[in-house]
Amino acid sequence: MTETDLTQTLSPDEEETVPGISIRNLYKIFGPHPERYVSAVREGMTKTELNRKHHHSLGLRDITTDLPAGKISVIMGLSGSGKSTLLRHINGLIAPTAGEVLIDGEDVAKMSPEALRAFRRHKTAMVFQNFALLPHRTVLENAVYGLDIQGEPRASSTEKAQCWIERVGLKGYENRYPAQLSGGMQQRVGLARALTNDAPILLMDEAFSALDPLIRMDMQTVLLDIQKEVSKTIVFITHDLDEALRLGDKIVILRAGEISQQGLGEEIVLHPANDYVRAFVKEVNRGRVVRLRSIARPKPSGEDWPGLQLPGATTLEGAAHQLLDAPGGSMATVLARNGSARGVVSMDDVMRGMLSQS
């Protein structure tokens, strides 16, 4: 099998996604007169030059991306890459120097103060790395805080909060205070608070980074399970590629305030755009990321379709287990989303896909 076979374009039967958040040509320059230097940055002035010559700092350069509605988009990068700065543009905590952040066709940066307050209260909710719980409020009182701000009666807000407290696994802890909870439990409260607010957009800034690895994995599972039920537009910030690959329907990798690569996790692992991304994906377990749809090849002429049928979205790791367990079978038929046969794979194909490096 050739490298081209291993890195072919993903299936045309993948569903189109509708943008939930459209970011267009976004620039952010920090300093007393940022608007003076947008043109120079557009023409190629580097972050170092801008700082040395004009004592301004470049936060974001020409960010253009669509974050799909009802999906989890992960923005990742190393410290200083601009990921948290980008997140804060989405709810208007930071105003861009140039560009647009469009949500439901409206530019967040052009909202009036009243409209922006309403937008933050009703359209977005945040989950923070440091939990940001109010220490004098119980778990239940923290969960209803957003609805208290909106003026919703406690009777109805308490009912909503109780539902989400139970859903995140904190039933029985409603009257505890944050200081009486572990870090993982505090983050569950933060998630319950955001979900109780019932905003369609959930912004999560390094939400699980402060947690121990096992608790972090547990919280990722909780988030994925809840997302299957609520289908919110989630923007998740992380510096961890494994976390990004597990959570993200779309991944945007930033470097020094610019998009280095964006797309499906599978695309990024198979087609790293540059050395920066290649360094990120080097140690990734490809078997848990790459899908059969990416390595399927045409059925040889004159041969029957293999009896073992596997969806194209099956990971290589999952396919290897099923091929091993199949009686006398080392081949499988790969199915398209509509159930039609789109190609075949052998155990050799799967192993090469797991071991090959871009």
Q: What is the CATH number of the domain that holds 140?
A: 3.40.50.300
pLDDT at 336: 93
54 within some domain:
no
Provide the mean pLDDT of the chain.
90
Same domain for 221 and 309, yes or no, is no
Same domain for 135 and 81, yes or no, is yes
Tokens of 244: 């990004």
Same domain for 183 and 228, yes or no, is yes
Contact 128, 151 (CB under 8 A): no
Rounded Cα–Cα distance for residues 332 and 319 (Å): 9
Q: Summarize pLDDT for 61-91 with one digit per residue, the tens.
A: 999 999 999 999 999 999 889 999 999 999 9
pLDDT at 96: 97
pLDDT at 283: 84
pLDDT at 1: 37
Same domain for 166 and 219, yes or no, is yes
User: Bridge partners of 152?
Assistant: none
Strands 250-255 and 72-76 turn out to be: parallel
Same domain for 256 and 178, yes or no, is yes
Same domain for 157 and 226, yes or no, is yes
Contact 238, 216 (CB under 8 A): no
Last residue of a domain, one of 259, 285, 311: 285
56 within some domain:
no
40 within some domain:
no
pLDDT at 333: 95
75 within some domain:
yes
Q: What is the CATH number of the domain that holds 327?
A: 3.90.1280.20
Last residue of a domain, one of 257, 285, 313: 285
Same domain for 274 and 318, yes or no, is no
Residues in the chain predicted with pLDDT less than 50, given as ranges, are: 1-16
Q: Summarize pLDDT for 266-306 with one digit per residue, the tens.
A: 999 999 999 999 988 988 889 999 999 999 999 999 899 99
Same domain for 318 and 252, yes or no, is no
Contact 202, 233 (CB under 8 A): yes
Overall pTM > 0.85: yes
Same domain for 345 and 201, yes or no, is no
Same domain for 219 and 331, yes or no, is no
Same domain for 293 and 277, yes or no, is no
99 within some domain:
no
pLDDT at 282: 86
Count up the domains in the chain and report the number: 2
Rounded Cα–Cα distance for residues 197 and 127 (Å): 12
- Domain, as residue range, for 129: 68-92+111-285
34 within some domain:
no
- Per-residue burial over 238-260, b if 16 or more Cβ lie within 10 Å, else e, is bebbebbbbbbbbbbbbbbbbbb
Contacts for 242 with CB less than 8 Å, ≥ 6 apart: 284
> Tokens 């944050």 correspond to what residue?
178
115 within some domain:
yes
Same domain for 171 and 189, yes or no, is yes
pLDDT at 10: 44
pLDDT at 357: 64
User: Which residue, 15, 1, 3, 2, is CA-closest to 313?
Assistant: 15
pLDDT at 356: 73
pLDDT at 229: 92
